[in-house]
């Protein structure tokens, strides 16, 4: 579903050179959804209150790291959650503390 919304936004808002129109966030009632798009995945974080200023860039960097670590598995992914390996552990870590770290750097341990 998010892919369809992303495509609609890109088609509706891209510039004359076919660039731009990237959906990065949206709001639903009192919740804000921040989105990062990678080669294989979308990563969306839903939150209330003041969003950390660096969240979008940290989300992009974290997603890039996930796609590097899980790339071969994601290329062949059948769409079932059970075939993503330990991706849940990495996502749980990011939600607990990763998004707040000054730099992701070496603090990220991917479990692929």
DSSP state letters, 44-109 = EEEEESPPPTTHHHHHHHHHHHHHHHHHHHHHT--S-GGGGTTHHHHHHHHHHTGGGSS--GGG--
Query: For residue 30, what is the DSSP state?
Result: T
Q: What was the pLDDT predicted at 75?
A: 87
Residue of 110 and 37 predicted with greater confidence: 37
Compute the distance between CA of residue 69 and CA of residue 54 in angstroms, rounded to an integer.
Answer: 23
Does this model's pTM top 0.95? My answer is: no
Q: What is the pLDDT of residue 71?
A: 86
Q: What integer best gives the mean pLDDT of the chain?
A: 82
Query: What is the Cα–Cα distance from 78 to 97, expressed in whole angstroms?
Result: 29
Domain ranges of the chain: 24-107
Distance CA 62, CA 36 (A): 9
Region 49-76: mean pLDDT is 88
pLDDT tens digit sequence for 64-108 = 989 998 888 888 888 888 888 788 888 888 888 776 665 545 445
């Amino acid at each position: 579903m998010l892919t369809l919304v992303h495509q609609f936004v890109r088609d509706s808002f891209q510039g004359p050179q076919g660039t731009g129109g990237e959906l990065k966030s949206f709001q639903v009632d009192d919740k804000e959804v921040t989105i990062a798009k990678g080669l294989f995945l979308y990563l969306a974080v839903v939150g209330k209150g003041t969003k950390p200023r660096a969240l979008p860039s940290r989300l992009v960097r974290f997603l890039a790291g996930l796609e590097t670590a899980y790339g071969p598995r994601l290329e062949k992914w059948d769409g079932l959650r059970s075939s993503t390996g330990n991706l849940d552990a990495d996502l749980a870590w990011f939600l607990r503390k990763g998004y707040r770290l000054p730099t992701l750097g070496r603090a990220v341990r991917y479990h692929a």
